Structure 1
């Protein structure tokens, strides 16, 4: 039986904020689980034992091919939320082919929007984002201002086949981290029935081996997906899941001034 770890998910979804390959450890991402197929719940999910409910939900999430995630998450550069953590907001869609579209915003670090299709990567960061990048690279004030003046609030693109694309959009490869991170639950209990966006859910709470308390709202009709997850106990975060298996919109930004990074600044295109 597994429970989801929101703090661990945050490490994956904030990888893009560094643009230096500083993503999650490979050990934190897992592929599809060996849990039984979730199947349809026919509204009787809440009558099952709490461990079986979590197992079915875990299997449903692992079988997803795409999902949309929104919410607020804890994040710390040293990969512990207990020291120097900050608040991260995510609004992004993923699929298991590495396509993604959405925005990540970190308190004090700025925000960045990314669109990665099978052919191209588009990114756009705000001024705070690029100032943070410049400071990470120990740029002089003049260099920092030049970087911000050139790139802030401007779309950039490069072919997905470019090796730098993988570093610049590491977040797009985090579908497994978003849906498949697990931790051993010390205690599990059912917390009743409630509505999430008009859908009936059963709430299941668990204490994890990391000492956090997490609650999951799981759909009782149809496939038992997580619709919402809440974490507390020093790693506070809340995320919502939607658009299950819906195609990710990776259309390029329409009518935008796009800088073509594959031309090393020699030209621009859209």
Structure 2
């Protein structure tokens, strides 16, 4: 399918990390600690997280001892911490395998708001339950690839593509990461189907973390980085297929979903998709 036939092929395929990083089975009981090489500081351009707003700075810096546990136990601790957080910020900087990026604030109910960039175009995303709104920047509608869409829907520019996750393929995928803060996020820590090993304590965004490596024949190699001070949040996940990185931060920080755009500011996403797919 060429770019001309895609409506913001929204599918930042990176959403697959929800399953990829959760593929692990096999546990060496923690005996592999330190085998993954020297500690290397990891950096991300996104803002850093200081933990749940209800915890003090001292508590956030208190060693948890999670790095002493076996790999599977570390993932279990991370699963409990991450899924208990009321909100979480999700950032994907993009990679050679993922032609886009995103920065979203999400909550446990699957609501979210933020920005998504795909193929050079950025848009504003809002999701409330199964309802999604996505507003591409004006430059998208000025692109030659959207000429047929604009001809059919001349008032599309400046409006939100709107629909539900069960009807719109585009909106389902583009908002997939909105569920990272909900029950489905536990897939990141299931550890089913791959061999788990534990690396040496390192740092991510200035935070001490212990990496848990997962090696799966099906999904390749992935790594989840779990904070060793304060709540044992998983703050970073590297996946092998597709090759990409996800950063998790701002756990428990206040987040209110923006108001739903009025109907006059929206356009049916399904109609746009159908036209885009059928334009030669």
TM tier relative to shorter chain: 0.5 to 0.7
1:145 aligns with: 150
Task: Give the number of the structure with larger relative contact order, counting CA–CA contacts within 8 Å between residues 6 or more apart.
Answer: 2
Partners in 2 of 1:204 and 1:121 — Cα distance? Answer: 34
Cα 1:66–1:177 shift into 2, 3 Å: same
Q: Which residue of 2 aligns with 1:238?
A: 245
- Structure 1 residues 197 and 66: alpha-carbon distance in aligned structure 2, compared to 1, 3 A threshold: same
Hey, what's the Cα distance between the residues in 1 that align with 2:159 and 2:231? 38
Change (3 A) 1:50 1:237: same
Residue aligning to 1:113? 124
Distance 1:222 1:106 in 2: 35
* Structure 2 counterparts to residues 69-218 of structure 1, below 5 A: 69-72=90-93, 86-107=98-119, 110-116=121-127, 122-127=133-138, 141=147, 143-146=148-151, 150-152=155-157, 154-156=158-160, 164-166=163-165, 167=167, 169-170=171-172, 171=175, 174-175=179-180, 176-178=183-185, 180-181=187-188, 182=190, 184-218=192-226
Q: Which residue of 1 aligns with 2:75?
A: 54
Match of 1:13 in 2: none
Report if the CA contact (8 A) 2:135-2:161 is conserved. no
CA distances 1:186-217 after superposition (whole Å, capped 9, x unpaired): 22222111122222111121113424111121
Kept in 1: contact 2:98–2:243 (CA 8 A): no
Distance of aligned partners of 1:129 and 1:183 in 2 relative to their CA distance in 1, 3 Å threshold? farther
The C-alpha deviation readout for 1:50-72, integer Å capped at 9, x for no partner, is 22112211222233332110014
After TM superposition, give the deviation of residue 150 of structure 1 in Å: 2.8
Q: SS at 1:192's partner residue?
A: coil
SS of 1:123's equivalent?
Answer: strand
- Whichever structure has more strand as a proportion of its residues is 1
Contact 1:202 1:219 in 2 (8 A): yes
Q: Decide whether the 8 Å contact of 2:113 with 2:124 is kept in 1.
A: yes
Question: RMSD between aligned alpha carbons?
Answer: 4.3
SS in 2 for 1:52: helix
When the two structures are aligned, how many residues end up with a matched partner?
210
Alignment check: 8 A CA contact 1:65 1:95 kept: yes
- Name the CA distance, whole Å, in 1 between partners of 2:213 and 2:85: 22
Please tell me whether the aligned partners of residues 191 and 203 of structure 1 are also in contact (alpha carbons under 8 angstroms): yes
Deviates more, 1:170-179 or 1:206-215: 170-179
CA distance in 2: counterparts of 1:179 and 1:197, whole angstroms:
23
Instruction: Provide the residue aligned with 1:248 in structure 2.
Output: 255
| Structure 1 gap ranges (5+) | 1-15, 29-39, 76-84, 159-163, 263-270
CA contact (8 A) 2:109 2:179 kept: no
Change in Cα spacing, 1:155 to 1:260, as seen in structure 2 (3 Å) is: closer
The alignment partner of 1:54 has SS state of helix
